[in-house]
Amino acid sequence: MRACLCGEDTRPQDRSWLADKMVIIKSCFSSMLNRDHHNAGQRDGIMDMESSRTNGGAEITTYDSLDVSLGQSRRNIYIASKCWAVYVMLAEWFEREGETELACQAAEQAARCASTVMSGVEEDGTIPAILDGESVSRIIPAIEGLVYPYAAGLFDVYGKESPYAGYISALKEHLEKVLVPGVCLFAGRVAVIVDKHQLLVQQNLFESVCR
């Protein structure tokens, strides 16, 4: 779904696919909301609940083999960044499709997610990998979600007047603080340029793990 949301403006077939899958997309959105919290009043924009499909187990991230900080999905800022991106893109898409109420819900979730992540910023400017009050690990994949709205053509998201300017600024500072020798395991192998109209990622940025 994320891939098609990114490409719908440039690939008409993706827009058609999205329209045909509206029921499924709404179901996925509902699942995201419930895995934040089934009680709307307690949602903070990031994943707090495990899927019932784990049958008492726990969901992991795609980078779980790299470090324990990337194993747990719940309250993981890497997963949070991707949720933020999907909420931002769904808000735009739902609005375009005339689903005003869903668009508002998605926008609210994007704002909640951004706020929750920013609330985790510590005195040194970094953000713990897991927002549980105990994590001491720091991860670069926290910024991964920033690329998706850009790929979808939502450039205003990155402007200084954007409601997400503080969120993006917090992630930028986080990256600058961890992407240094002695902190990052791969500091010499990554190059990043981020501004309103440019997001360049080189040499396996999102596979780097910081401690």
Tens digits of per-residue pLDDT, 150-162? 888 899 999 989 9
The length of the chain in residues reads 211
Per the DSSP assignment, residues forming a β-bridge with 169 are none
Residue with tokens 């690939």: 11
Close Cβ partners of 160 (under 8 Å, ≥ 6 residues apart): 196
Tens digits of per-residue pLDDT, 41-63? 999 999 998 776 666 666 767 66
Dihedral sign (CA 156, 159, 161, 166):
positive
pLDDT for the residue numbered 197: 37
Residue 67 has pLDDT above 90, yes or no: no
Residue 170 has pLDDT above 80, yes or no: yes
| Helices 100-119 and 22-36: angle between axes, nearest 10 degrees | 30
Residue 90 has pLDDT above 90, yes or no: yes
Residue 69 pLDDT grade (very low, low, confident, very high; cuts 50, 70, 90): confident
pLDDT for the residue numbered 187: 61
Backbone torsions φ then ψ of 17, nearest 5 degrees: -65, -45
Tens digits of per-residue pLDDT, 99-155? 999 999 999 999 999 999 999 999 999 999 999 988 888 888 899 999 999 888 899
Provide the H-helix boundaries in the chain.
2-7, 12-20, 22-36, 77-96, 100-119, 147-151, 165-178
Predicted TM-score (pTM) of the model is 0.81
User: How far is Cα 175 from Cα 142, in angstroms, rounded to an integer?
Assistant: 8
pLDDT for the residue numbered 2: 57
Per the DSSP assignment, residues forming a β-bridge with 202 are 191
Classify burial at 53, counting beta carbons within 10 Å of its beta carbon; exposed 0-12, middle 13-18, buried 19 or more. Answer: exposed
Mean pLDDT throughout 21-42? 94
